[in-house]
Amino acid sequence: MSKNKLSPELWVERYSDYFLYFTISKVSDREMAKDIVSETFLAGLKSKDNFKGEASEKTWLISILKRKIIDYYRKINSNKGQAEVKMDYHTGHESGDWLEEQVSGSSMDSGEEAIENKELGQAIYDCLEQINPKHAKVFKMKSMQEMDTEVICNELKISSSNFWVMIHRARTALVNCMGQTWFKN
């Protein structure tokens, strides 16, 4: 079986928005979330020699991101001196790390999974991960970054008609992808 490889030069384009949304949903602070995503990429780059290629690049980066989010919570907890907040729990039947489990809930790994997320944004990003990357990129630039059509066409070196074809395909694919959950009514 061929091993997965890392392509750090593509991380920002491929994962930054998805990771940012994911992190915001966990830490609720946009600026902090941006820092955490940046740190994740830098940490990934520093430890790239540890990547064995058994997991996908994205899964590997998400595991780093989770650690960064946990570190963030540990840090703010220690800063506030909230000794009462227990990170570990031990009951009669179970024990574990509460924080780990909060951060690594079932939705964490579901980038390519079926949409079972309660959160709309997560669902949108899950679907954007599944559709043609070029179409997704054009859609994000237009719908989320609200860039001008002309600017996008110039940047991507595509014609206006090509642009609208890509937008149409992205929108159709998104509606199909999100259909079961979000377009019931």
Q: Which amino acid is at 114?
A: A
Among 76, 101, 120, 154, binds another protein (CB under 8 A): 120
CB of 17 to another protein, least distance (A): 3
Q: Count the residues of the shown chain that bind another protein, applying the rule CB under 8 A.
A: 39
Is the Cα dihedral 88, 90, 96, 101 positive or negative?
A: negative
Would you give the distance in Å from CA 82 to the centre of its chain? 29
34 binds another protein (CB under 8 A): yes
Cα separation, 178 vs 173, whole angstroms: 8
Decide if 21 contacts 121 (C-beta within 8 A): yes
Residue 21: CB minimum distance to another protein, A: 6
Among 4, 38, 77, 104, binds another protein (CB under 8 A): 38
Binding mask 93-112 for another protein (x = CB under 8 A): --------------------
Site for another protein contains 73 (CB under 8 A): no
Burial category of 105 from C-beta neighbours within 10 Å (exposed 0-12, middle 13-18, buried 19 and up): exposed
- Residue 3 or 184: the one with the smaller Cβ distance to another protein is 184
Pairing relation of β-strands 95-97 and 88-90? antiparallel
Residues 1-30 close enough to bind another protein by CB under 8 A: 8-9, 11-13, 16-17, 20-21, 24
The dihedrals phi and psi of 55, each to the nearest 5 degrees, come to: -95, 170
Determine which residue in the list 77, 104, 130, 149 makes contact with another protein, applying CB under 8 A: 149
The smaller minimum CB distance to another protein, of residues 26 and 142, is found at 142
Cβ 51 to another protein shortest distance, Å = 15
Residue reference for tokens 């990429």: 41
